[in-house]
Chains A and B, each alone.
Chain A
Amino acid sequence: GAVVSQHPSRVICKSGTSVKIECRSLDFQATTMFWYRQFPKQSLMLMATSNEGSKATYEQGVEKDKFLINHASLTLSTLTVTSAHPEDSSFYICSARDLGGAGGPDTQYFGPGTRLTVL
């Protein structure tokens, strides 16, 4: 199956600093990528949809000025958590949509996740 990578896998930062997380589709091009957040023992919550070459679409309740998303190429999307605070500590996961070929369905493949801890 398709492979999606994330970097870094874990990051610890001080309150007030900004953190950038990269999401890459390694063996396919992804015009659409998604960013999720997951708190312990909870399900994944969609934060935003990242579209190559255009502005991201944010879910209700997600601050676009705090979670900056850039999808500059067909294989890379970045999420920047600006002025991070302890409540932003979470597990951030990206996914990339692999368009189905030959009439098949498209499928989302997920990255391994990034554990963010804000002190």
Chain B
Amino acid sequence: LAKTTQPISMDSYEGQEVNITCSHNNIATNDYITWYQQFPSQGPRFIIQGYKTKVTNEVASLFIPADRKSSTLSLPRVSLSDTAVYYCLVGVDTGFQKLVFGTGTRLLVSP
């Protein structure tokens, strides 16, 4: 299982773009990268998933360089409600998939 490393915390202000980078040096060929968001006393919510280059949805963008040893979650124009913990995980796309959560990044958005 690929281990991930993220900053423990980040601070931002409303309206700014936030980029959270995750390192996964031991990512395997079949691994996908998935990001989750978790609010206090709630289960993690799926944000975005990708394998390479760039993926964009209505919530965020995910940038993955060619070597795939890191990835960056980009949240455009954050609001106060984006204050949460963000987890980066990697795992295989088929077969038995066991996710191991790291510490996550605690994002605090201020007015």
Contact = CB atoms under 8 A, between A and B. Distances in A.
Interface of A: 1, 4, 6, 32, 34, 36, 43-46, 49, 91, 93-95, 97, 100, 105-113, 115
A49 B44 contact: no
A6 B96 CA distance: 23
Interface string B8-25: 000000000000000000
B69 interface: no
Interface of B: 32, 34, 36, 41-46, 49, 51, 87, 93-94, 96-104
Which A-B residue pairs are the 6 nearest by beta carbons? A110-B43, A105-B93, A44-B101, A105-B32, A43-B101, A110-B44
Nearest to A91: B41
Contact of A43 (B34, B49, B102): B102
A98 B63 CA distance: 24
A15 to B, nearest CB: 23
A52 B86 CA distance: 30
Contact of B43 (A49, A93, A107): A93
Given A109-B46, A112-B42, A43 B87 contact: yes
Contact of B34 (A36, A107, A112, A115): A107
Contacts of B94: 106
6 contacts: A43-B103, A46-B101, A49-B96, A106-B97, A108-B99, A112-B43
Nearest to B45: A110
